[in-house]
Amino acid sequence: QVQLAESGGGLVQPGGSLSISCAASGSIFSIPVMGWYRQAPGKQRELVATSITGGSTNYADSVKGRFTVSRDNAKNTVYLQMNNLKPEDTAVYYCYAEIQYTATSMSRFQYWGQGTQVTVSS
C-alpha cells in the first residue's frame, strides 16, 4: 500500500516564502505524475503544479513564476518552493501522485496526502 507523507506548511506574511515536500512510500515501481493541488475555503480543489516523469512540469497560471515544483526520484519525493506568497495562496495543499506498481502493470493508481495548511496573512 502506498502512502504520501507531507511536510511543511505554516504561516507566512505576504511576499514571504515557504517550502513543502511530500514523500511516497510503499509498493512503487514508478511515479509518472507527482505534484500538488490546493483547496481554499469556499473553493474547489485545484491543480497547483505537477512534475511528470522525464522532467516536464506544469503550473497553474496563478502561481507560474512564483512557485517551483521539483522531484527527487531516488527518494520518491516532490517539493514545492513557494515564493512571493499572496493571501490568495492561503489553502490546504494536498500532495498527489499517480503510482505504477510494477514494470508490467498498465494501470496507474491515484493517491492523495492528508494536506498541509499554508496561510499567508499580515
Helix (H) or strand (E) holding 71: strand 67-72
What is the per-residue pLDDT for 122? Answer: 92
Are the CB atoms for 3 and 114 separated by under 8 Å? no
Asked if 79 and 61 touch (Cβ cutoff 8 Å), the reply is: no
- CA dist 70 and 51 (Å) reads 7
CA-to-CA separations, 34 to 14, 15, 27, in angstroms, rounded: 27, 26, 15
Quote the pLDDT of residue 86. 98
Residue 8 CA, distance from chain mean position: 11
Tens of pLDDT along 95-105?
999 999 999 98
